Structure 1
Amino acid sequence: MNVLVVKANNRPDGISTRMYNTFLEQIKENKEVNVSTYDVFEEDTPYFGQEVFSGLGKLHEGVALNDTEQRLLDAKQKAKDVISAADVIVVAFPLWNFTIPAKLQTFIDYLAEAGFSFKYTAEGSLEPLLTDKGVIFLNARGGNYSHPSMAPLEMSLNYMRNIFGGHFGMKVLDEVVIEGHAAAPDQAEEIIEEGLKKVSDLAANLSYQNA
């Protein structure tokens, strides 16, 4: 089984960074998987915009791309390639300002392509194309967004579920959420360690059977 682990936090002390590191450390002991990584902050991931569309248009017409267009299409292709090669995608990401980091959004924008991750049927409805893959979410958020009063503000994990599980059609295999450590600093270490134990157990037990 090929597992891609996506890192979407460049804070060395970030909790989702610790989740990423914990998962990688434990997955080394799992003989059933081949692991690769993709760091959205370390990879060349220029932001998605008009240059992508102009580059795609030029490709269709057989016209030479400029350097910016080529760079963007190369980055987009690499993102698609790493997803194509994976059976299971694990994404470690924080909630920043109620949503996901911009670099993770860019990675998703690279993948959200008609004919790759979804298509439109003859009737005009959307059909996911990545239904043969599984996804696992490792999410950290300092507040208690599971509380009903805060849940409407949570647009990171919910967005990831909608994109990967809904739009792309991947099976959501598992989720580990560490939350509330900033809101309750006196309990922070206990909250974090409990969450990291869940991450470690998840990595140790990941197999074809539960994927």
Structure 2
Amino acid sequence: MNILVVKANNRPASEAVSSKMYETFMEEVKDLNVTTYDVFEEDMPYFGQDLFNAFGKVQAGGELTDVEARILAAKQKAMDALTAADVVVFAFPLWNLTIPAKLQTFIDYVYQAGFTFKFNEQGQMMSLMTHKKAIFLSARGGIYSTPETAPMEMAATYMRNIVGGVFGMEIINEVVIEGHNAFPDRKDEIINEGLAKVKEAASQLTHQLA
């Protein structure tokens, strides 16, 4: 079984909770077949007209610019990584109420008709990755789990809608650490409780794959 961990925070673990969640998870699954796709380390030009220009040139046999060649290669690498994975773990923060732009770019690369979803003859969308499983490890300094604040949270919610709703992966675990900035006097307690849940999620995955 192949595990792909998509790391979406380039801040050090000493400063960023989702980075610490990533490191904690990786330590617990070090004996498994794990590959990390670090969206901040990869060369990932942003999704836009350059990609569509590249598609046109490939069909016409035209010469690609540097950025066009890079974005085609980056898109294919992301798709290949997702294809090879049986379990995909996303480690990401809530930044400005949403996911980091680099993680959005990864999603843009793999969000493709015929790859992660398709439309049937009735025009209904059908998921194409129902055979894969996903785990979310996410951190947010404020509280976004109350009825008043939940509508503002567009990171974990977005990822659920995309990965589970569109791609069709089974989300087998989700660990969210929140409130460590809102309650500085309880910061260590909140983080440590969350990291214990990360270890538990890793342990459960290890047992499932044993």
Regarding TM over 0.5, the answer is yes
Aligned counterpart, 1:156: 155
Shift, 1:77, TM fit:
0.3
Percent identical: 61
Quote the Cα distance in structure 2 between the aligned partners of 1:58 and 1:39. 29
Partner of residue 40, structure 1: 39
Match in the other structure for 1:121 = 120
Q: Is the 8 A contact 1:173 1:210 kept in 2?
A: no
Aligned to 2:73: 74
Structure 1 segments unaligned to the other structure (5+ residues) = none
> Counterpart of 2:55?
56
Q: Secondary structure of the residue that 2:208 maps to in structure 1?
A: coil
**Match of 1:26?**
28
| Structure 2 residue aligned with 1:146 | 145
For residue 131 of structure 1, report the CA deviation from its aligned partner. 1.0
- The superposition leaves residues 24-57 of structure 1 with CA deviations (integer Å, 9 ceiling, x where unpaired) of 011114xxx3100011001111111101111112
Query: Match of 1:9?
Result: 9
The alpha-carbon deviation at position 137 of structure 1 amounts to: 0.3
Which residue identity does 2:95 align to in structure 1? W
1:92 aligns with 2:91: yes
Supply the distance in 1 between the matched residues of 2:207 and 2:106 (Cα, whole angstroms): 26
Distance 1:63 1:100 in 2: 35
Partner amino acid for 1:169? G
- What is the alpha-carbon distance in structure 2 between the residues aligned to residue 88 and residue 157 of structure 1? 17
Gaps of 5+ in 2: none
> TM-score, normalization: structure 2?
0.95
Checking the alignment, whether the CA contact within 8 Å between 2:78 and 2:106 is kept in structure 1 is yes
Conserved 8 A contact 2:21-2:91 = yes
Q: Is the 8 A contact 1:8 1:91 kept in 2?
A: yes
Return the alpha-carbon distance in structure 1 between the equivalents of residues 196 and 208 of structure 2. Answer: 21
> What is the one-letter code of the residue matched to 2:45?
P
Displacement of 1:210? 7.3
The size of the alignment, in residue pairs, is: 208
C-alpha distance in 2, partners of 1:121/1:183?
46
SS in 1 for 2:64: coil
CA deviation after TM superposition for structure 1 residue 204, in Å: 2.1
Contact (CA 8 Å) 2:45, 2:67: kept in 1 or not?
Answer: no
TM-score after normalising by structure 1: 0.95
